[in-house]
Amino acid sequence: MAILIDMEATSLRFAAAARTLGQVARLEGLVAPSFRSPPRTLGLDRSIRRLRSGVVVSIRLRDRPWITVLVDMIDGVVSANLLEGVDASRLRSLLWEASMADELLDATSVDTYRVA
């Protein structure tokens, strides 16, 4: 878990998490929201807009620990699907499992593009 706590949010991690969370939502037959950063309204860490074409979850990345960004993203998927109670809890668990699997893969993979 130290992997998530110590790292600051980056746009690459944000994009990878957005793909993972969207895939899980679609596999569950749910709406996969679009993610963007930052929110349009200054001072907000997260906002949700419902459009005809779908749902947009906006998250502030700057000066925030990665774990707080990921929490906002997961809650954004739950909110986009208007889930509560057991259904919301089940989806959160699935999203966390998928996110943790991705984090562990990223932490253990060798960066083949980096040249010394």
- Asked if the structure places residue 3 within a domain, the reply is no
- Asked if the structure places residue 31 within a domain, the reply is yes
Band of the pLDDT at 19, cuts 50, 70, 90?
very high
**How many domains in the chain?**
1
Band of the pLDDT at 113, cuts 50, 70, 90?
very low
- Asked if the structure places residue 20 within a domain, the reply is yes
pLDDT (0 to 100) of residue 107:
60
- Average pLDDT of the chain is 87
DSSP letters for 8-64: BP-HHHHHHHHHHHHHHHHHTT----EEESS-SSTT-SEEEEEETTEEEEEE--TT-
- Asked if the structure places residue 1 within a domain, the reply is no
Domain range for 18 is: 8-105
pLDDT (0 to 100) of residue 101:
86
| pTM of the model as a whole | 0.83
pLDDT (0 to 100) of residue 34:
97
Residue 38: is the preceding peptide bond cis (ω within 30°)? Answer: yes
Kindly report, residue by residue over 28-74, the tens digit of the pLDDT: 999 999 999 999 999 999 999 999 999 999 999 999 999 999 999 99
Band of the pLDDT at 1, cuts 50, 70, 90?
very low
